[in-house]
Amino acid sequence: MEKDAGRVMVEKTVAGFGRLDFVIANAGFAIRYEKPLFSMTSEEIAETMLTQFKVFPVAFTTLAVEASKEMSKRYGSVGVNEAGHPRETGSIVVTLSEAALCPLRDDLLAYASAKLACVSVLRTLSATFGPLNIRVNGIAPGFANTAGPKKFYDRFPEIKSEIEKRNHLKPPFMHPGAVVPAVMYLLTDNYVTGEVIALDGGYNINMVSYFQNY
């Protein structure tokens, strides 16, 4: 992550478009451990944790705060509509993961903990910037066969088949475009804040089904 990347992104957006209305914090990558934790050194664990925290909660927080500084100029005093809700709001959406809601995989320890930290950030920022009419929400997608994950699951088919068994809705690997309606909703609504929408086919619901004849 470039130093001051959030500020630079906000400045470039305002220079190019004249204002800032919303932010989607989506970029990033997952570190997946390929050996048991007992086989890893403390340095390896520390380095991977620090990397994932920089890529997710640190980048998200700095971007969201810089964006909120700018958005508060426009949305801080918009007044209310006939429903008594803010007439307009700025919106920040962060991409979390099923791993944030269900941190149960040892290979995803660093990734899941960094994504879960983003939930704490979004809830804090939603409360802090709510009075400025800035909303902060998250989506938690399930597994998609995008470039990075595909390489991993091709090498570890047993992990892929566990996911396939566990997802309640099929197919277990979603189309990345399935997140679009939820993102559009969070961008255009004016009253939802501090929330996470899970879009994971039920992966994070960890229930064992004893009767197999449904």
Ligand X SMILES: NC(=O)c1ccc[n+]([C@@H]2O[C@H](COP(=O)([O-])OP(=O)(O)OC[C@H]3O[C@@H](n4cnc5c(N)ncnc54)[C@H](OP(=O)(O)O)[C@@H]3O)[C@@H](O)[C@H]2O)c1
Contacts to ligand X by CB under 6 A: 1, 26-30, 55, 95, 97, 141, 143-144, 146-149
The least distance separating ligand X from the CB of residue 101, rounded to whole angstroms, comes to 10
Neighbours of 77 (CB within 10 A): 10
Q: Of 96, 174, 85, whose CA–CA distance to 135 is shortest?
A: 85
In whole angstroms, how close is the CB of 100 to ligand X at the nearest point? Answer: 8
State both tokens at 14: 């305002």
Give 180's contacts (C-beta < 8 A, 6+ positions apart): none
CB atoms within 10 A of CB 3: 8
Q: How far apart are CA 50 and CA 65, in angstroms?
A: 21
**Comparison of 70 and 98: residue with beta carbon closer to ligand X:** 98
Question: DSSP secondary-structure letter at 87?
Answer: S
Residue in the block written with tokens 């309640």: 168
Give the residue with the Cβ less far from ligand X, 95 or 204. 95
**Closer residue to ligand X in complex, CB, 97/126:** 97
Return the number of the residue (24 or 65) whose C-beta is nearest ligand X: 24
**Matching residue, tokens 């006939």:** 82
Report the residue closest to ligand X, judged by CB. Answer: 146
The structure tokens listed for 6 are: 């959030």
Quote the least distance from Cβ 95 to ligand X, whole Å.
4
Q: Which residue number, 132 or 187, has a Cβ lying nearer to ligand X?
A: 187
132 vs 182 by CB, closer to ligand X: 182
Shortest Cβ 137–ligand X spacing (Å): 15
Which among 15, 44, 193, 175 is positioned nearest to 110, based on CA atoms? 44
Cα 40 from chain centroid? Answer: 27
Instruction: Please report how close the Cβ of residue 181 comes to ligand X at its closest, in angstroms.
Output: 16
Output the smallest distance, CB 149 to ligand X, in A: 4
